[in-house]
Structures are given as C-alpha cells and as structure tokens.
Amino acid sequence: MDIKDIQNLIKFVSKAEVSEVKYKTKDFEITIKTPLGGNEVSYVAQPAMYQQAPQQAAPGHAPAPVSAGPEKTEAASDDSKYVTIKSPMIGTFYRKPSPDKEVFVNVGDEVSNGKVVCVIEAMKLFNQIESEVSGKIVKILVDDATPVEYDQPLFLVDPS
C-alpha cells in the first residue's frame, strides 16, 4: 500500500463518519481513528459542569437563596396563570426561520393552536415548534441561538 492509497483510505474513513477502522493484510496493518467518539463525550460533560457550579455556589451563599426564595414564589404565582410552551427536544433555539427573515413571534403577539413559534435545530435539521395553545405571548424565556434542553420552558402564553 503506497501513500496515495493511505490518503484515500483516510478520506474515505472521514466521509463515512466512523470512529475507527482497522485494515490488515499479511504484510501491512493500519488503524485509523477519528475524533467522532470524543465529540459525543464533550457534549455530555458540558451540562454536568453547569449542574455542578450552582451546587458549589449554594453552600457558600446560603443567605442569598433564602432571600430569593419568596421572590421566586411570587414570580411562580404570577406565572401560574400562564401556559408554558416547552421544548420537545434538545437542540439550538432560533426565533427566526433564517437569519434574513423576521422572527416568528414577539411578546404581545397572538398565537393560535398550530402556529409556528420557533425552530429548534437538532442534528442539522430545523424542527418547527408549534403552539399547542391559543393566546398572547407574555414572555420569551430563551435567547435566540442558544442551546435548549428537553422540556425546557420557551414561552409563556396567556390563554385568556
């Protein structure tokens, strides 16, 4: 096997999107590894760091959460009259169908059941997220082009 054959094999492996290939003949052996497996691990490790940071900060600042508790309760009671539109998947939240287009909805806009309110990009696919309730958008809870988790609140809608 010459250098051109090896280069072609490397190109083939990278296009095939596999993490490892072993090629062996009676007088030649090569193993090609790609970083595909490593990328998945980095995505999993990143949310774990976010979860650990608040836990470490909470014991050091015990008085702050106690004073913030009633404020959160008041906010929750105000928000309880609203319906929450949640993310049905993990991905990246976008308010526009494309960068040069207008946003799907703004605060104060009326939405109806089935109206597209945003898109979430997952695995290079843009999934339209539709409202499951009719009403008025009260609050947009996520910034444009930010990652969202499954079941994360995206919008508050006043159904009245």
Closest CA to 155 of 93, 103, 86, 106: 86
**Which tokens sit at 110?**
């009326």
Q: Which tens digits make up the pLDDT trace of 38-70?
A: 443 333 333 333 334 444 444 544 444 444 444
Is residue 38 domain-shared with residue 83, that is, in the same domain?
Answer: no
Is residue 28 domain-shared with residue 86, that is, in the same domain?
Answer: no
Instruction: Report the alpha-carbon distance of residue 46 to residue 5 in Å, rounded.
Output: 38
Is residue 27 domain-shared with residue 102, that is, in the same domain?
Answer: no
Is residue 82 domain-shared with residue 160, that is, in the same domain?
Answer: yes
- The DSSP output letter for 127 is E
Which residue type does 125 have? L
> Of 33, 60, 87, at which residue does a domain stop?
60
Closest CA to 34 of 53, 49, 12: 12
Residue 138 and residue 65 in contact, taking contact as beta carbons nearer than 8 Å: no
> Of 9, 29, 60, at which residue does a domain stop?
60
Q: How many independent structural domains does the chain possess?
A: 2
Would 73 be classed as within a structural domain? no
Instruction: Report the alpha-carbon distance of residue 53 to residue 17 in Å, rounded.
Output: 34
Looking at residue 12, its pLDDT comes to 74
Looking at residue 50, its pLDDT comes to 36
Is residue 100 domain-shared with residue 143, that is, in the same domain?
Answer: yes
At residue 117, φ and ψ (nearest 5 deg) are -110, -20
Residue 140 and residue 117 in contact, taking contact as beta carbons nearer than 8 Å: no
Looking at residue 134, its pLDDT comes to 94
Instruction: Report the alpha-carbon distance of residue 19 to residue 2 in Å, rounded.
Output: 23
Residue 115 and residue 130 in contact, taking contact as beta carbons nearer than 8 Å: yes
From residue 158, give the alpha-carbon distance in Å to each of 12, 82, 87, 111: 53, 5, 18, 10
Would 121 be classed as within a structural domain? yes
Looking at residue 104, its pLDDT comes to 96
CATH number, domain containing residue 110: 2.40.50.100
**Residues lower than pLDDT 50 in the chain:** 37-58, 60-74
Is residue 45 domain-shared with residue 88, that is, in the same domain?
Answer: no
- Structural domain boundaries, residue 112: 78-160
Looking at residue 76, its pLDDT comes to 52
Which residue type does 150 have? Y
Looking at residue 44, its pLDDT comes to 33
